[in-house]
């Protein structure tokens, strides 16, 4: 039996962007770079193209897709806006903020998991923005990985996970932020609610809206989800993982050689011989830790440890996003 060819990785040349834009208009899938993580893009208004996303990822249709747009005119095309949404768009777009709004009928039910709402954002990655503009389409683009696995932050990550199921990947370099966008439910402007934390923090949203913003705590157990990334177990390595407030001294952890230990910051005096000690950032800087989070988790997952121990991030703001991903990665 002939093995399927791996997806081709394209540099972001004008010729390649024009070619990939045509592929998207023809209903094909393209792995795309964003500032958060890599996405798997298709024409958001074409149910057949979007169904191919669910098949490639093994994603349940109860988990909706985020629609990516190039300009505010497209927002009006797919969603019912309100003054608060437009104010946030002017402040945070292009950028890592997704808004959940009432959808317009042009959006297929498949994209919204059958719900009357749609999740939409305007990405900041320059190559993806050029592709969006050239395609002339709003693009549905969940993370470009097998459903539930660690999100991809490089083109090579996409090919490793979906290389035999898609044909095209646009290489935009490593994702700058490294964790998925903040998702804000703005259907009821009097009760805005963060569904998933990200690089745009709740404090920033409260300052922009001049009102309290709640953080969703209860996780759905069944039925259609309001937005992506809400499942208890998600972004998960295949190796069993356990989350801790703090990890033991590296000298002690290093003795348990069949288990991996991922510290938030570089531990004091890690044994030079230890091959099971890792960290997200030398000094515990949140931006760097978020940027490296999924790449480190992927690398450790491939090393055949019996268990992975994860340490929570300390701090506020972006620490909430990092800890959200760690908690879901370790969920049983």
Residue that wins the pLDDT comparison between 217 and 306: 306
Helix (H, G, I), strand (E, B) or coil at 48: helix
Cβ burial of 266 (10 Å; 0-12, 13-18, 19+) is: middle
Residue that wins the pLDDT comparison between 55 and 2: 55
Mean pLDDT over all residues of the chain?
95
Domain ranges of the chain: 8-215, 241-330
Q: What is the pTM of this model?
A: 0.95
Dist CA 66 CA 183 (whole Å):
10
Q: Which of 129, 142, 110, 134 is nearest to 31 (CA)?
A: 142
Q: Could you tell me the CA-to-CA distances from 62 to 44, 111, 246, 265 in Å, in that order?
A: 16, 9, 35, 37
187-197 pLDDT per residue, tens: 999 999 999 99
Q: Is the pLDDT of residue 219 over 70?
A: no
Q: Is the pLDDT of residue 35 over 80?
A: yes
Separate counts of helices (H) and strands (E) for the chain? 10, 15
The Cα angle at residue 139 between residues 134 and 145, in degrees rounded to 5 = 120
CB 321 within 8 A of CB 182: yes
Q: Following CA atoms 107, 233, 235, 75 in sequence, which dihedral angle do they give, to the nearest 10 degrees?
A: 20
- Which residues, in sequence order, are bridge partners of residue 121? 68
Q: Is the pLDDT of residue 42 over 80?
A: yes
Cβ burial of 235 (10 Å; 0-12, 13-18, 19+) is: buried
Q: Is the pLDDT of residue 77 over 60?
A: yes
DSSP 7: P
pLDDT the model gives residue 205: 98
CB 199 within 8 A of CB 96: yes
Q: Report the percentage of the chain scoring pLDDT > 70.
A: 98
Dist CA 325 CA 279 (whole Å):
16
Least confident of 18-27, 210-219, 234-243: 210-219
Q: What is the mean pLDDT of residues 222-234?
A: 82
8-215 is a CATH 1.20.120.140 domain: no
């Amino acid at each position: 039996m002939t093995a399927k060819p791996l997806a081709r990785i394209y540099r972001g040349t004008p010729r390649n962007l024009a070619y990939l834009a045509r592929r998207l208009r023809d209903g094909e899938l393209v792995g795309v770079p964003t500032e958060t993580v890599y996405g798997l893009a298709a024409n958001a208004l074409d149910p057949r193209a979007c169904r191919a996303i669910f098949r490639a990822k093994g994603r349940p249709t109860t988990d909706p897709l985020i629609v990516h747009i190039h300009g505010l005119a497209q927002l009006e095309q797919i969603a019912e806006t309100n003054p608060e949404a437009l104010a946030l768009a002017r402040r945070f777009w292009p950028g890592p903020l997704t808004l959940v709004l009432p959808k317009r009928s042009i959006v297929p039910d498949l994209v919204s998991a059958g719900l009357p709402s749609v999740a939409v954002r305007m990405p900041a990655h320059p190559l993806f923005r050029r592709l969006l503009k050239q395609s002339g389409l709003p693009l549905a683009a969940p993370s470009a990985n097998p459903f539930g696995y660690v999100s991809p932050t490089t083109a090579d990550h996409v090919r490793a996970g979906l290389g035999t199921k898609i044909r095209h990947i646009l290489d935009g370099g490593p994702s700058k932020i490294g964790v998925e966008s903040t998702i804000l439910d703005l259907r009821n402007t009097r009760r805005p609610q963060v569904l998933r934390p990200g690089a745009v923090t709740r404090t920033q949203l409260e300052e922009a809206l001049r009102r309290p913003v709640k953080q969703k705590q209860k996780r759905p157990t069944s039925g259609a989800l309001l937005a992506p990334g809400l499942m208890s177990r998600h972004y998960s390595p295949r190796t069993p993982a356990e989350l801790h407030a703090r990890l033991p001294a590296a000298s002690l952890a290093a003795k348990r050689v069949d288990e991996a230990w991922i510290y938030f910051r570089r531990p004091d005096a890690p044994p030079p011989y230890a091959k099971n000690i890792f960290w997200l950032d030398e000094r515990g800087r949140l931006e760097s830790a978020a940027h490296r989070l999924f790449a480190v988790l992927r690398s450790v997952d491939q090393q055949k440890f019996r268990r992975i121990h994860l340490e929570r991030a300390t701090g506020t703001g972006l620490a909430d996003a990092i800890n959200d991903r760690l908690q879901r990665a370790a969920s049983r």
